[in-house]
Structure 1
Amino acid sequence: MIPRSCHQLLGRGIIAVLPPFNFLTLHYAYFLATPLICSVIFWGSSTPSRSLGYVDSLFMCVSAMTGAGLNTVDLSALNSFQQAILFALLFLGHAILISITVLFVRRSAFQAKFKGISIERARKRLSLHMPGHGIPLDSINENVIVEEHQPAKSDDVGHDGKGSGTAEVTATESNGELLNDDPSQWAEDDQVTLSHMRARQHHRHRVFPMVGVGARPDLNNHPRDVAPRLPQADEDELPAFKGFIKGTQKYFASKGFIARNSQFHGLTPEERDKLGGVEYKAITFLLVIVTLYWVLFVLCGIIGMGTWLAVNHPDIARKNGLSPFWTGAFFAVSAFVNSGMSLLDANMAAFQTNAYPLLTMSLLILAGNTLYPCFLRFIIWGLRCCVPNSPSWASWKVTFDFILDHPRRVYTNLFPKRHTWYLLGTIIILNAIDWAGFEVLSLGLKEIEDLPKGYRVLDGLFQASAVRSGGFYVVTISDLRQGLLVLYVLMMYVSAYPVLVAMRNTNVYEERSLGIYAHDNTDDEQDGQSSPNMFIQLVRHHILRRQDVSTPEASRSYFVHQQLRSQLSHDLWWIALAVLLIAIAESSNFSRMPVAYSTFNIIFEVVSAYGCVGISVGFPGSNASFCSAWHPISKLILAAVTLRGRHRGLPVAIDRAVMLPSESLEWAEEEDAAMRREQSRAWGCDKMPVGSV
């Protein structure tokens, strides 16, 4: 018999090696398991039997699932069942569909939390009336669950959307609802005082931490596991507006505060429940509106492109032995998920002089990825403007205002107004650069100059929309000038950065997820360090490019720069390693065809795969991507690159929008508020900024 202690040690060893159970690990597992299963079916359904190698089958499934769009075989040569598998994988891997699943899971978690709170409160009320008797759970009416935690009803909210008063919570009930190990102590004035917190000595280090690019690897994924040194929150350190802060009353009656990045703190347990009710209704509404957004765009795209192609140019599809409507439908879905896969061998080059498919596909590309946060916020803002000013609609006004004011508490790809405008401006600037590069660097190319001027501009705009993530091409990529190809490599490399930076910059748990306050110096260490003189600051800022973080504004700028630096270095490492391995594997082919297998062509293919774009320089005599002529080991390496690239734009593990509601999150907000109060004191500010988002 093996001693029980050995079993425990073995179990702890396995847990220490395995990645933590969070959103990122589930995302990786989903994107690994689904293509593996589908690739077996894809390979087994080949006609004639086994005419397609398994490596090609696996690569095609991974490429469709990740939205990379690269193809090692001509899609027109596949049978209808194999095309249907790729069609389904395009859906299954789309970020919007996955976000809908996250919203559904979070809504279910809120419902379960409210159910437990309601049952516990009912048991306490019965215990007060029936002392000394056990109250079974079955005897408690579970029908009143979510209703207790909904936002204020119309009769509890005034015409201005503000609550009529603060609910009274007795000290006994408040203390009873707190967990025994909860570090928050609720004072008599319903404000939170955090004190005597000690950093944990035991931290679990993992081989594969899965905390996201830019996050500190020594941070555990659970907020309660990260306990940096906290200051004593004395009464005289609280803001002068203690008891009422403009902004909290907009959603529910509260005495709490709202710090930057939509962090609520200083709330009583009952106010936390009210905040959870507001978030629950916001998530429920987003679940409906995002689902409708996804379904309507997909249906309209399928019907529009399929019908147009079947009516106007059915011969284009029939040349490849395809159904016109099916070809148009595949085009629409591939554009919306930003894959770039096409059943036509000529891709979008067959529609160089057709305005409708170019405009429709451009809209689908933007709506499905790059401008999705902008479109979604505009829709919600439009619905908010349509809400009538009547008491019966006051609850909806609170929900819309909460989503627009604090979007990153409820959804990953919805940002505050300022960041949304930044995102829109960045996309416009990048697309304008792509369009200008296409028009200027293509001068003298016969294929482009033969086009009518109007369609030349339209083709340039379409290519600008597709080159950063869409993956389609309206002209043969290998025929373009080298300078334009280099520009495309750069644009594919930074394709995910606008949304990624906005997502990381608006993270509710910014400090906690990225370790800004993870190991602050103690007061003694700070006192022992003298501030650098002006000359040293100039050297650091202008020569060494180091940021001065002595002010809140500089700290935010430092945070953005650190994120960009971490992401750029992380991406470069993956791309450089993949290019090196593939170049080694393709050495024999390079000796045989040095132009076709040039290092630049390999870099172009790897960057396109890592950016999940799908544009390829192609291979002479083939309609498939350049990687179709590679060795199987090179295809497997590129498939791994696409999987890693698909996950580079995801939120870090500690992100409110992908974490289930728990008391740990509430504690994390209170702790972050105390850390910011300490940091504000270090900046020489007696008061913490209030109401800043």
Structure 2
Amino acid sequence: MHELGDHAVISKDDVVRFTRVNKPKAVVSKLWQRFREEVCRLNFYRVLMAYFLITILNSSVIMYGSGIVDDPTEEYGGHLEYVDALFLCTSAMTATGLATVNLNILTVFQQAVLAILILLGNVVFVSIFVVIIRCHFFQREINSLLESSKAVRKTRNKVDEEEVKCSTEPASDPGLSQRHAAGFREDAISRPADKTIQPTQYDDANGRIHSLDEHELEELGGVENHALGVLAVVLTLYLVGWLILGIVLLVPYSYRAHVKSIITTTQPGYVIPGWWAFFGVISSYVFHSTYYLLTVVGALSIIGSTQFPVLLRLFIWATWKFTPANSRLHQTLLFLLHHPRRCFMYLFPSVETWYLFGTQLGIDILIWLLFAVLNFGIPYVMEIPPGTRAAVGLFQALGIHSGGFFAVTVGSMAPALQIAYIVAMYISSLSIVMVVRQTNAYEEQSIGLDSTNLVKGGHLLTHLQNQLAYDLWFLIGAWFLICIVERTALMESHPGFLIFNVLFEVTSGYGTVGVSTGVPYDAYSLSGAFHKFSKVIMLFVMIRGRLRGLPLAIDRSILIPGEELFHRMDEMYNRRTKVPAQDDKVLRRDEKGPGANHTK
């Protein structure tokens, strides 16, 4: 409102604000609409979060209930407090490995529940279902488009026939006549394909497609749909193959006399050697006295976690090399190699895959060397024979990524090495997260990046800054809250309780690693000595840490075909593509369907 002499002049903005204030229903309606759009709208992150939460809650009830049914007077009856059952299920589902009780006091049924959860939360297992769901919706969308295009074609043909009947003069627009002639030529539909898509000519660092001609645009939908089907098979073979190999290598070995003796005599409760070996394959619990076990379990730990993207691309590349060059499978595998991020979140271009492999290898070698150097002179470590000590150091360097196992108690090692372990637990999974961010073209635009105009170093630095901002406040906040809850134990120096040990536990949970400084009087993690509220905080830490690798924005590889955003992203990816101006030809291509022009 503006004052002019004795008169008050009401501006248009004042009227708008007054109207809004005096229409509370409209304001509430708008807020509710905004809430539904921003909070209630499902996306991949929220669906996956719901999957984890529902699975964890249901399994924790089952696990807790089975302990109540068993006789609680038995020494190893599996009776748990509910918060411990919830913690163990969360730790297993997120593949963390932290434990609030000694796992050997659990019944075989409860251990089986944990084993199933480890598989259900495995990144490969989850990825298989994501790919299968996308493949299903992709095929459904293609079928829907075919039906729509056929209906449009019939309608347009009828309209054209009516125009021909009613017209008494030649067409005055030569361009229009030419368009009809070209658009409805039958040989344009029936001619066989004389070439196949060549992915190497049209991809950039993020798998975007540029400068495709009309025939290649026709091929793309069919190739991508087929690629999803092949990828689902490859991922299934990857998961099942490595699990079977691990079981074959470990189960018979666990029944050897000296191994069976160690398993049954050094742990509380009766442990079946074969079950111990199976559980070791999927969770990597091991002792340090045998090179064979260190080698097998150490290899399995990286195959299913940090080196999964590297080995997946290697598997696809090797299969492509040995398939006939004129087969459809050969072309599909080539499409996956050159456009990996169109189909799968953890399949990266060649350069980024080498970067990931080099980063993880460098971390492993550095941690291995630090184990040897920093532990020099510490009696607990030096009493291990030199050869075994070197193997143990390498084993723990591999396990610090996500295995959750260790052959030497962390609390008895050099303080500087424990700091190095904290850093390694954070950056080991960070490297995969950074590659996911870097190869997500949609996320580049969401944070103001354009991969065609940015230097690679600045590009990576921007993603790193955003990821640190996403992680650090949560880590520090969880550490702060647990220190408040555990104040008495920290101030009175209860066994195992140090401020540094709490930070180590939080970082291990957030990195889904599972290595812990533990407590000196039992075999469980430091979390087992926490109060209930601290355990609940650790639940959120593990779940958020497990989902931290998902895109901050939207990723083309997780969208369901048919969504509006899916089409918008394709327009963004292909904005430099020369789109055909003749809609008639597009309709004819849709009617023929994907893969119609395949000659093989």
Shorter-chain TM band: 0.7 to 0.9
- 8 A contact 1:265–1:670 mirrored in 2: no
- Residue 334 of structure 1 pairs with residue 283 of structure 2: yes
Equivalent AA in structure 2 for residue 70 of structure 1: L
Q: Paired residues, what number?
A: 518
SS of the residue corresponding to residue 134 of structure 2 reads: helix
Match of 1:226 in 2: none
Per-residue deviation at 1:511?
A: 2.8
Equivalent AA in structure 1 for residue 300 of structure 2: L
CA distance in 1, matches of 2:181, 2:157: 15
CA distance in 2, matches of 1:12, 1:318: 61
CA distance in 1, matches of 2:157, 2:28: 47
Paired residue for 1:315, among 261, 273, 296?
A: 261
- 8 A contact 2:196–2:216 mirrored in 1: no
SS of the residue corresponding to residue 209 of structure 2 reads: strand
Percent identity over the alignment is: 34
Paired residue for 1:504, among 414, 432, 437?
A: 437
SS of the residue corresponding to residue 308 of structure 1 reads: helix
- 8 A contact 2:197–2:219 mirrored in 1: no
Per-residue deviation at 1:123?
A: 2.7
- 8 A contact 1:90–1:333 mirrored in 2: yes
CA distance in 1, matches of 2:60, 2:568: 44
CA distance in 1, matches of 2:531, 2:276: 30
Per-residue deviation at 1:11?
A: 5.3
Query: Against the structure 1 CA distance between its residues 562 and 486, is the aligned structure 2 distance closer, same or farther, given a 3 Å change threshold?
Result: same
Per-residue deviation at 1:595?
A: 6.1
Equivalent AA in structure 2 for residue 460 of structure 1: G
Per-residue deviation at 1:478?
A: 1.2
Query: Against the structure 1 CA distance between its residues 594 and 311, is the aligned structure 2 distance closer, same or farther, given a 3 Å change threshold?
Result: closer
- 8 A contact 1:408–1:508 mirrored in 2: no
CA distance in 2, matches of 1:486, 1:172: 73
Aligned ranges for residues 465-504 of structure 1 at < 5 Å?
465-504=398-437
Equivalent AA in structure 1 for residue 453 of structure 2: P
- Mark the structure with the bigger radius of gyration: 2
Paired residue for 1:355, among 283, 291, 295?
A: 291
Paired residue for 2:125, among 69, 90, 97?
A: 97
Query: Against the structure 1 CA distance between its residues 128 and 431, is the aligned structure 2 distance closer, same or farther, given a 3 Å change threshold?
Result: same
- 8 A contact 1:298–1:333 mirrored in 2: yes
Match of 1:286 in 2: 231
Query: Against the structure 1 CA distance between its residues 450 and 676, is the aligned structure 2 distance closer, same or farther, given a 3 Å change threshold?
Result: farther
- CA shift digits 1:640-659 (9 cap, x unpaired): 11111111112334111111
- Residue 87 of structure 1 pairs with residue 115 of structure 2: yes
Match of 1:438 in 2: 371
Per-residue deviation at 1:676?
A: 12
- CA shift digits 1:187-220 (9 cap, x unpaired): xxxxxxxxxxxxxxxxxxxxxxxxxxxxxxxxxx
Match of 1:559 in 2: 459
Equivalent AA in structure 2 for residue 64 of structure 1: A
CA distance in 2, matches of 1:7, 1:174: 55
- Residue 650 of structure 1 pairs with residue 550 of structure 2: yes
- CA shift digits 1:546-588 (9 cap, x unpaired): xxx9x8342x322210111111232111111011110010111
Match of 1:65 in 2: 93
Match of 2:595 in 1: none
CA distance in 2, matches of 1:368, 1:580: 32
Per-residue deviation at 1:515?
A: 3.6
Equivalent AA in structure 1 for residue 280 of structure 2: F
Per-residue deviation at 1:264?
A: 1.6
SS of the residue corresponding to residue 64 of structure 1 reads: helix
CA distance in 2, matches of 1:110, 1:21: 18
Query: Against the structure 1 CA distance between its residues 175 and 9, is the aligned structure 2 distance closer, same or farther, given a 3 Å change threshold?
Result: farther
CA distance in 2, matches of 1:467, 1:13: 43
Match of 2:8 in 1: none
- 8 A contact 1:303–1:329 mirrored in 2: no
- 8 A contact 1:302–1:330 mirrored in 2: no
Per-residue deviation at 1:421?
A: 0.9
SS of the residue corresponding to residue 639 of structure 1 reads: helix
- CA shift digits 1:47-69 (9 cap, x unpaired): 33594111111111111111111
Match of 2:63 in 1: 42
- Residue 325 of structure 1 pairs with residue 263 of structure 2: no
- CA shift digits 1:100-121 (9 cap, x unpaired): 0111011101110111122223
CA distance in 2, matches of 1:595, 1:91: 34
- Residue 661 of structure 1 pairs with residue 561 of structure 2: yes
Per-residue deviation at 1:126?
A: 4.2
Equivalent AA in structure 1 for residue 548 of structure 2: R
Query: Against the structure 1 CA distance between its residues 606 and 172, is the aligned structure 2 distance closer, same or farther, given a 3 Å change threshold?
Result: farther
Match of 2:151 in 1: 123
- 8 A contact 1:305–1:328 mirrored in 2: yes
Match of 2:322 in 1: 386
More helix by percentage: 2
Per-residue deviation at 1:451?
A: 2.3
- 8 A contact 2:90–2:539 mirrored in 1: yes
Query: Against the structure 1 CA distance between its residues 65 and 275, is the aligned structure 2 distance closer, same or farther, given a 3 Å change threshold?
Result: same
CA distance in 1, matches of 2:555, 2:304: 22
Using structure 1 for the length normalisation, give the TM-score. Answer: 0.70
Per-residue deviation at 1:86?
A: 0.6
Per-residue deviation at 1:257?
A: 5.3
CA distance in 2, matches of 1:659, 1:257: 22
Per-residue deviation at 1:20?
A: 2.8
Query: Against the structure 1 CA distance between its residues 597 and 513, is the aligned structure 2 distance closer, same or farther, given a 3 Å change threshold?
Result: same
Match of 2:385 in 1: 452
Paired residue for 1:304, among 249, 266, 271?
A: 249
SS of the residue corresponding to residue 256 of structure 2 reads: helix
Query: Against the structure 1 CA distance between its residues 608 and 125, is the aligned structure 2 distance closer, same or farther, given a 3 Å change threshold?
Result: same
- 8 A contact 2:436–2:551 mirrored in 1: yes
Per-residue deviation at 1:271?
A: 4.7
- CA shift digits 1:20-54 (9 cap, x unpaired): 31110111111111111111111111133594111
- Residue 106 of structure 1 pairs with residue 55 of structure 2: no
CA distance in 2, matches of 1:506, 1:258: 12
- 8 A contact 2:96–2:514 mirrored in 1: yes
After TM superposition, the structure 1 stretch with the greater mean CA deviation from structure 2, 8-17 or 68-77, is 8-17
- 8 A contact 2:206–2:349 mirrored in 1: no
Match of 1:606 in 2: 506
CA distance in 2, matches of 1:253, 1:421: 20
Equivalent AA in structure 1 for residue 71 of structure 2: P
Q: Which runs of 5+ in 1 are unaligned?
A: 134-169, 177-248, 336-341, 343-347, 518-548, 678-693
CA distance in 1, matches of 2:324, 2:217: 28
Per-residue deviation at 1:366?
A: 1.2
CA distance in 1, matches of 2:89, 2:39: 26
- 8 A contact 2:404–2:513 mirrored in 1: yes
- CA shift digits 1:326-385 (9 cap, x unpaired): 0010010113xxxxxx4xxxxx3x3x2311111101110111011111111111111111
CA distance in 1, matches of 2:205, 2:353: 16
CA distance in 2, matches of 1:498, 1:17: 29
- 8 A contact 2:128–2:232 mirrored in 1: yes
- Residue 581 of structure 1 pairs with residue 481 of structure 2: yes
- CA shift digits 1:594-646 (9 cap, x unpaired): 56311001001000011000001111211100111111000000111111111
Per-residue deviation at 1:269?
A: 7.7
CA distance in 1, matches of 2:179, 2:61: 61
Using structure 2 for the length normalisation, give the TM-score. Answer: 0.80
SS of the residue corresponding to residue 415 of structure 1 reads: coil
- 8 A contact 1:19–1:25 mirrored in 2: no
Query: Against the structure 1 CA distance between its residues 649 and 122, is the aligned structure 2 distance closer, same or farther, given a 3 Å change threshold?
Result: same
CA distance in 2, matches of 1:552, 1:112: 37
CA distance in 2, matches of 1:253, 1:462: 40
Q: Which runs of 5+ in 2 are unaligned?
A: 1-24, 73-77, 162-177, 185-194, 579-600
Match of 2:9 in 1: none
Root-mean-square deviation (Å): 3.1
SS of the residue corresponding to residue 353 of structure 1 reads: coil
